[in-house]
Amino acid sequence: MHADSWALKAKKHGLRSRAVFKLEEILSRTKALKKNSLVLDIGSAPGGWSELVKASTPSSNIYAIDLLPMDPIEGVHFFQEDILNVDEIKDIFLLKSKFNLVISDLAPNLTGIRAVDEENIFELNIITLRVAVNYLCKSNGAFIMKSFQNSMLKKLRIEMENNFNLVQTYKPAASKSKSGEIYLYGEMPK
Ligand SMILES: C[S@@+](CC[C@H](N)C(=O)[O-])C[C@H]1O[C@@H](n2cnc3c(N)ncnc32)[C@H](O)[C@@H]1O
């Protein structure tokens, strides 16, 4: 399907974003979302991913963070905050080491200067990875994070491999091929 067709499909189904189809594909391939999960959605606005998780597993408990506001979703606890300050959100901090799934669709604002953008993406990915490691349950946690194909990706993957038992890369069909966007998946030991 052409990239723009995903946006049309999202609109037709009343979904908040075309990003929903990317997460849907990754979840169907990894089986990372189970019933009754505790889920942290980082960079959640406008809310497509949170809405998908809630619709797929209504018994899951979802916490979502974004710099931007997000229209409410029933059963989703949303905090308008920078991911850098996640430890200051008491409701989330109390759940440290308890999350079953952390999902991140974060992307920094791009400057157009390749070296700067690659460094900013890497830095944001490393911050997100640290948050995931701190907040995931050590026995059965899973992590899905957006990144980009660039000169820092190998270094990022090594960091993932240092923290997760299994690491995989996904390029969902709904992801524009020219964007270089990819998703890294990490699983804690069972
Ligand atoms: C591609 S959008 C997420 C789309 C979402 N997954 C969906 O399906 O609706 C990326 C989001 O990351 C957020 N973001 C970027 N940097 C952030 C930061 N440092 N802390 C929190 N959110 C951030 C942006 O505000 C933006 O809403």
Q: How do residues 164-177 score in pLDDT, each as one tens digit?
A: 999 999 999 999 88
The two tokens of residue 4 are 């723009």
142 membership: H or E segment, kind and range: strand 142-148
Tell me whether residue 146 is in a domain.
Answer: yes
More confident residue, 156 or 10: 156
Indicate whether 139 pLDDT > 80. Answer: yes
Residue 23 maps to which CATH number?
3.40.50.150
* Ligand 1 pocket test, candidate residues 44, 54, 88, most atoms within 8 A of CB: 44
Tell me whether residue 37 is in a domain.
Answer: no
Q: How do residues 29-77 score in pLDDT, each as one tens digit?
A: 999 999 999 999 999 999 999 999 999 999 999 999 999 999 999 999 9
Tell me whether residue 38 is in a domain.
Answer: no
Nearest C-alpha neighbor of 149 from the set 128, 125, 174, 173: 125
* Distance from Cα 170 to the centre of ligand 1, integer Å: 19
Indicate whether 114 pLDDT > 80. Answer: yes
Place of tokens 């606005």: 45
Q: Name the pLDDT band for 7 (thresholds 50, 70, 90).
A: confident
Tell me whether residue 177 is in a domain.
Answer: yes
Tell me whether residue 39 is in a domain.
Answer: no
The pLDDT, as a whole number, for residue 2 is 60
The two tokens of residue 171 are 């390029």
Say how many Å lie between the first and final Cα of the chain, rounded.
36
* Distance from Cα 82 to the centre of ligand 1, integer Å: 10
User: Which structural domain range is residue 69 located in?
Assistant: 3-31+44-187
Place of tokens 């157009």: 112
* Distance from Cα 139 to the centre of ligand 1, integer Å: 27
Is the pTM for the entire model greater than 0.75? Answer: yes
How many CA atoms does the CB half-sphere of 165 hold within 13 Å? 9
Domain count, the chain: 1
Average pLDDT value over all residues in the chain: 94
